């Protein structure tokens, strides 16, 4: 669901969101698609029909929750293929919660109690920069106190193009990451009072209909990114996409005319890309025919490099607020190639927002191993040193945060084995890699996948430690473009 206003529509090279009055047919379609909704009071006001996606309608509606005085403007996306009128997938978690609250007033009171405790603590203990940044990023809905405000908050989270907020200190040359998924859990992780007993909100269950609040919250985060796969995202996030067109190369061939959702923008290929390799004349590959140097797999920033010891261990690397790693086994799992990287080298890069996000082969070699996995951990979220971080708990404590990870291991023959690990900040919109290419020989720069949101992390492992990685003192101001050399062998 999305807050929008037709009066705020701005011109765009992608689409002009022009809402017009509803016809009788439009009202019939809307009624058929929303007949199962009990928790909200919804009045459709106008409709937007995009000529690129005629089978998808966007309805601007006035929405309210029975116990809240707030009236919202939301856009409901409805697909109309083959007479099957159905809502876009990203609407369902909010509707499920609203339906539950209608029959479960205790849960409503418990959520409001948790939210109010969280905001009170935040004002006392969380830095003003972090507090304000979250609020601004979520359209002034970052710290809800009432159930109506909470639905606005959920709406903003569900349509955000990234779960990561980056705070930069240019004077200290440092970056601070705020993860909205962890912030969401932290708001709901407060102690509440039920029948004069203290308990955590995530333990709430409705034994009559089986509703489990912990499960609902985890499913809400698990499904994050489905909005970016809907046609609504292309028109409603158009201003963010427009910043990408500052580079004239991306306008070549009117590439945006083929986009149907924000995900198409994230899956962007460079102009004149080879249909098989994905290599484009618009980006050169340094030393394309040898492995004397290693190429940047994507547009990225250098973070750090470390030597791996004889047991496959290294100093702990904070990949994201919810992901720490300090061993080859944690990164690669149980592969027959782990030991090759003992006494090797590990290098960490991050992916800048609103940049080319495809992933390419950093070396010439054969793909020995490809894997994709989803990592989940039970955790309690804490606020420490300006960040929301996690503490792992026992099986039934806290929430589970899931992220996606792709692993590719190359055999280069001349410089040993090289591994690429790509980590996304969610499951549905994390990272995608061509795992079907296992056993194939690929050239340097071969396109192997992409990040599926505006944030991600890259790790490179080298069997041969004799690679000199190019570093920068002010790493947050030093960006590599895909194809640039990031290191040379001595």
pLDDT tens digits, residue range 256-308? 667 788 888 777 777 778 888 989 888 889 999 999 999 999 988 888 899 99
328-337, 375-384, 469-478: least confident range: 469-478
183-187, 222-226, 242-246: least confident range: 242-246
Return the pLDDT at 253: 44
Strands 447-451 and 431-433, by their bridges, are: antiparallel
pLDDT by residue (tens digit) across 20-35? 999 999 999 999 999 9
Q: What is the pLDDT confidence band of residue 443, given thresholds at 50, 70 and 90?
A: very high
Model-wide pTM > 0.85: no
Return the pLDDT at 173: 58
Choose among 38, 150, 160: nearest CA to 96: 38
Q: Residue 331 and residue 373: Cα distance in Å, rounded? A: 11
Mean pLDDT of 196-219: 83
Return the pLDDT at 70: 83
Mean pLDDT of 128-140: 92
Return the pLDDT at 288: 94
User: Between 129 and 472, where is the model more confident?
Assistant: 129
Q: Residue 221 and residue 213: Cα distance in Å, rounded? A: 13
How distant is the alpha carbon of residue 260 from its chain centre?
A: 19
Average pLDDT, the chain: 83
Q: What is the pLDDT confidence band of residue 246, given thresholds at 50, 70 and 90?
A: low
42-56, 121-135, 464-478: least confident range: 464-478
Contact 20, 48 (CB under 8 A): yes
Return the pLDDT at 2: 44
pLDDT by residue (tens digit) across 379-396? 677 777 777 777 765 555
């Amino acid at each position: 669901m999305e807050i929008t206003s037709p009066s705020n529509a701005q011109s765009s090279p992608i689409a002009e969101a022009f809402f017009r009055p509803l016809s009788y047919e439009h009202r019939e379609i809307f009624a058929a698609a929303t007949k199962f909704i009990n928790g909200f009071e919804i009045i459709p006001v106008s409709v937007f029909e995009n000529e690129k996606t005629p089978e998808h309608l966007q309805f601007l509606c006035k929405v309210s929750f029975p116990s809240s005085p707030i009236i919202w403007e939301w856009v409901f996306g409805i697909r109309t293929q083959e007479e099957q009128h159905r809502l876009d997938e990203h609407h369902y978690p909010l509707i499920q919660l609203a339906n539950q609250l209608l029959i479960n007033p205790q849960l409503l009171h418990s959520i409001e109690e948790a939210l109010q405790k969280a905001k009170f603590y935040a004002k006392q203990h969380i830095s003003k920069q972090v507090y304000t940044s979250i609020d601004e990023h979520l359209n002034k809905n970052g710290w809800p106190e009432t159930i109506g405000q909470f639905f606005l908050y959920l709406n903003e989270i569900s349509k955000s193009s990234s779960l990561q907020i980056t705070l930069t200190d240019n004077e200290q040359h440092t970056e601070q990451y705020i993860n909205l998924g962890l912030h969401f859990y932290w708001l709901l992780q407060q102690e509440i009072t039920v029948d004069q007993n203290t308990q955590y909100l995530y333990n709430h269950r409705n034994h009559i209909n089986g509703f489990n609040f912990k499960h609902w919250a985890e499913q809400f985060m698990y499904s994050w990114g489905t909005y970016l796969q809907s046609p609504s995202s292309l028109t409603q996030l158009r201003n963010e996409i427009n910043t990408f067109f500052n580079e004239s190369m991306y306008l070549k061939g009117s590439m945006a005319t083929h986009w149907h959702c924000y995900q198409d923008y994230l899956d962007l290929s460079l102009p004149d890309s080879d249909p098989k390799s994905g290599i484009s004349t618009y980006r050169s590959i340094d030393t394309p025919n040898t492995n004397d140097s290693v190429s940047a797999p994507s547009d990225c920033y250098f973070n750090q490099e470390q030597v791996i010891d004889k047991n496959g261990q290294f100093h702990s690397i904070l990949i994201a607020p919810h992901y720490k790693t300090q061993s080859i086994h944690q990164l690669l799992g149980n592969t027959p190639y782990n030991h090759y990287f003992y006494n090797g080298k590990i290098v960490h890069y991050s992916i800048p927002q609103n940049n080319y996000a495809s992933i390419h082969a950093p070396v010439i070699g054969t793909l020995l191993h490809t894997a994709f996995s989803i990592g989940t951990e039970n955790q309690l979220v804490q606020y420490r040193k300006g960040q929301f971080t996690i503490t792992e708990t026992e099986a039934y404590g806290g929430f589970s945060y899931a992220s996606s990870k792709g692993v590719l291991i190359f055999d280069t023959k001349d410089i040993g084995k090289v591994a690429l690990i790509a980590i996304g900040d969610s499951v549905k919109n994390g990272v995608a890699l061509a795992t079907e290419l296992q056993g194939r020989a690929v050239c340097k720069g071969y396109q192997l996948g992409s990040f599926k949101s505006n944030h991600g992390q890259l790790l490179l492992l080298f069997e041969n430690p004799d690679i000199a990685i190019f570093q920068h003192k002010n790493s947050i101001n030093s960006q590599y473009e895909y194809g640039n050399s990031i290191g040379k062998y001595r």
